Amino acid sequence: MFEQTDPNQIQLNCEGQLKHYLTTEGLSREILTEILDTADSFVDMGEQQVKKVPLLRGKTVVNLFFESSTRTLSTFELAAKRLSADVLNLNISTSSTSKGETLKDTLMTLEAMHSDMFVVRHSDSGAAHFIAEHVTPKVAVINAGDGRHAHPTQAMLDMLTIRRHKGDFAPLTVAIVGDILHSRVARSQIHALRTLGAAEIRVIAPQTLLPRHIEALGVRVFTDMEQGMKDVDVVMMLRLQKERMNSALLPSESEFYKLYGLSEEKLALAHPEAVVMHPGPINRGVEIASSVADGPRSLILDQVTNGIAVRMAVMSMSMSGQATEKQLQLKSGE
């Protein structure tokens, strides 16, 4: 576990622009809206004949994944390539860290290769912050998920998906359902929803899958799904993270589905125009019924498409923030 520091001391430059993207917590509504607006301009790029812009031409992006991932890694790689960057995917299982090299030494080696950005995924909370504090000033760091702490790009692709389908956040009641205890996605979603002004945020889970003092984040807590689902506008399901459970927190998957799985019957309790989301990968018949996941109210595939756009946005904004800071430093040294 890495020590936590105030992320905004390091993720913003002296002009308040992103130079690293580590967490949604503490970022202003203006910055989150800028991420959404920038991502919006990239969403339709996949439909174009030429799917590239030159914003990161000549830059080298290193995907530094200490934890396995398919969806997040592939979308970050595709986002970087659409920005015209050179991309290196570092296989940690065969890297020098598996032979005893320290994380700092690995970073110094990658910096010596003139890398410009590290996209970091790690099983320990605070890893991305640690790396951002120890890299050279010219390297931007993007958090692709750290322990139970944060997954800020996932949260913002969810926000983009909501905004594109619902417009203003102000009237919305959003329910986050499932394994809240182990979910870095839920924490990042809650911070983003609060900052963007959602009317009400609900978390729905069995008591064993709720963090202590979760109410302090400004959410309403429900352990009864039928009560929690009443009239909600957005339902955000979460994956059961069995790999992070070190004790029997659930009687069985079938019992969980019976009480907290999103079926057609439970969805009928929500607002008639409610939409359904899930960060993936989906456990069908455990967290959500196939008829709901594949149904007309599901935005799950939209989330994947929007994920590329959001990752393009934060990568381009972070590199721009790094460039601005460098220019200011050079100016002050004259």
Q: Residue ranges for the binding site for carbamoyl phosphate?
A: 71-72, 121, 151, 154, 280-281
List binding-site positions: 71-72, 99, 121, 151, 154, 184, 239, 280-281
CB 179 within 8 A of CB 206: no
Which of 254, 209, 204 shows the shortest CA–CA distance to 230?
Answer: 204
Q: Residue 120 belongs to what H/E stretch?
A: strand 117-122
From CA 4, how far away is CA 35, in angstroms rounded? 24
Q: Give Cα 167 to chain centroid, integer Å.
A: 20
Burial 231-256 (b: 16+ CB within 10 A, else e): ebbbbbbbbbbeeeeeeebbeeeeeb
DSSP character at residue 284: B
* DSSP conformation letters of 221-283: EES-HHHHTTT-SEEEE----GGG--S--SS-HHHHHHHHSB-HHHHTTS-TT-EEE--S---
CA triple 25-28-30, angle to 5 deg = 140
Sheet holding 140-146, edge to edge: 86-91, 60-65, 117-122, 140-146
List binding-site positions for L-aspartate: 99, 184, 239
From CA 244, how far away is CA 147, in angstroms rounded? 9
The count of residues in the chain is 334
Q: Residue 134 belongs to what H/E stretch?
A: helix 127-134
